[in-house]
Chains A and B, each alone.
Chain A
Amino acid sequence: MSWTHHISRFAVNPIKGKISATKYEATMKRMSLPFQGPSEGLKVPPHERRTQIEKGIVTGDLVYINEGEHKGKVSSVIRYLEESDSYMLNNVSEKTLIPKHMWGPGATSHVFDYPIPIPASHIKLAAKDKDDSGKINYVVADKIAFKEKYYDDRYHQWLPRRFVKFHESIEIPWPEPNSLKDDQYCTIEPIALEKSYELQTIAKPPFPKELLSEFRNPYSHHKKRVFTEVQARRINAPNMPLSMEQKIYLAKQASKPKKVLEPLTEEMKELIGSKMAEHINKIDNPALLGHLEHVSKTKVPDFEKTLKSIEENQTSN
């Protein structure tokens, strides 16, 4: 759950299918005011929604209505409603009551011609074509086929070419998009896109070295190499006083004689050597002898330390 968007597990959610879409629509219709019109949304689940271009019919396209009340009309698309997969068309409208705060510019009445959403299945893409003699022909595409993509300057994006399916010599070009007019306060496009500076190489610094001191504070306290007394005191822990027991323990430890390491005596060496010789002389296996040779050569850092401490003891005595 987020604070901005909350869905209860128990609330009715028609997208998840806990309630039938038709039932939900009926309740929405009953609850909406007349100017709000029929509910449009929630017919298409979000993962099944398509954009205008994916659908093949965009705003400004000519379309032919082949079903329903307005069958036979040829009109142009004003808007595509993704949520309900339907189109709003020019001159296919209904008179509805609209509250004053929702009036458009130049409106003088509460009664307003508001376009009715026509489902996409009731619509087919149409196109005009002029003959050499000046006669206008209409073409209606039952299905649309997409082919290779090209960069459209008007849309500023890559678009597929549109053809009438099974009659692929007939191309229906994409319509002119609704161009936005620049306001008086707008920056002109070439100025907005101009690049006044571009990094050429990382070998050279992008600005002179002297400028650095102006960008960054050379006297910043983060750059000081020496701690103040207060800072040093904060970093270092204080020396805690020892308890009585600790003092007694330390005194006892100091009074004990230090353990002195001594080298092996000749007798010990003789004993160890004789036992080893007796054992090794019995071995016939050359592989095992090789292994013993290898084991005897392995070095231990601790051994060097003990030898050093023995030497120190001997020199001190």
Chain B
Amino acid sequence: MSLTSKEAFAKLPQKLHNFFIKFPPRPFVEYSNKSTITTDPKLNPFLPNKNPESGRWHGAKISLRRSSDLYKMARKFGIQDLLPPLPKKFYEEKYNNKNWMRGVLQQKKHKWERELPQKLEARKEALANMDEIIVKARPSYKKQIEKREARKKNWF
């Protein structure tokens, strides 16, 4: 069963219909992306705007909570793009554009914890090259190395 546009429009919730009567859908009327002055014909009802006469700011005509309700309801019917631009992000867009805290992405840890892998690596290396390091500090150690080599047991 496929709906025609007229049948579909009959299903438009009263809340959205009421909103569209007051603020017509987007391609027919343009809404500014940013806060403007209250006399601007492009005034966005979801944003606070400035009164040029008094110099005071008017709060958003439709609050964040109400605008979120409208957006979520419109999204269920696939007409969220017809609303004026919102100052808030929702769902995937909100998640994808989230400014994650550094600590959430990567835990800082203690300094010894951070430096542990390098430390273990350095230790491993030092153990492998132990003879050379000792010879460098004490040249007479060479004889001891030679003795050890001579004493080494072979199968043959």
Contact = CB atoms under 8 A, between A and B. Distances in A.
Interface residues of A, number: 32
Contacts of B5: 270, 273-274, 276-277
A264 B22 CA distance: 9
Contacts of B4: 273, 277
- Does more than half of chain A's interface fall in helix, strand or loop, or is it mixed? helix
A33 interface: no
Interface stretch (B10-18, B40-48, B97-105): B10-18
B20 A264 contact: yes
B15 A296 contact: no
Contact of B21 (A280, A298, A306): A306
Nearest to A277: B8
Given A272-B25, A272-B79, A277-B5, A299 B14 contact: yes
B13 A296 contact: yes
B78 A278 contact: yes
A263 B6 contact: no
Nearest to B81: A275
B76 A275 contact: no
B9 A276 contact: yes
A276 B11 contact: yes
- Does more than half of chain B's interface fall in helix, strand or loop, or is it mixed? helix
A74 B30 CA distance: 114
Interface in A242-298: 261-265, 267-281, 291-293, 295-296, 298
A42 interface: no
A302 interface: yes
A269 B76 contact: no
A289 B12 CA distance: 13
B120 interface: no
Given A296-B11, A298-B15, A303-B14, A276 B28 contact: no
Contacts, number: 97
A269 B11 CA distance: 12
A36 B73 CA distance: 92
A274 B73 contact: no
Contact of B78 (A263, A276, A296): A276
Contacts of A212: none
Nearest to A298: B13
A285 to B, nearest CB: 12
B27 to A, nearest CB: 7
Interface in B61-82: 73, 76-79, 81-82
Contacts of A92: none
A281 B82 contact: no
Contacts of B27: 271
A303 to B, nearest CB: 4
A292 B13 CA distance: 9
Nearest to B5: A273
Interface string B123-149: 000000000000000000000000000
A264 B76 contact: no
B28 A279 contact: no
B13 A279 contact: no
Contacts of A276: 3, 5, 8-9, 11-12, 77-79
A300 interface: yes
Contact of A262 (B13, B21, B77): B21
Contact of B13 (A268, A295, A306, A310): A295
Contacts of A265: 28
A264 B24 contact: yes
The 6 closest A-B pairs by CB, nearest first: A279-B78, A273-B5, A273-B9, A277-B8, A276-B8, A303-B14
Interface of A: 261-265, 267-281, 291-293, 295-296, 298-300, 302-303, 306, 310
26 contacts: A261-B21, A264-B21, A268-B24, A269-B6, A270-B9, A271-B27, A272-B82, A273-B6, A273-B9, A273-B12, A275-B79, A275-B82, A276-B5, A276-B8, A276-B11, A277-B4, A278-B78, A280-B8, A292-B11, A293-B11, A295-B13, A296-B12, A300-B15, A300-B18, A303-B17, A306-B21
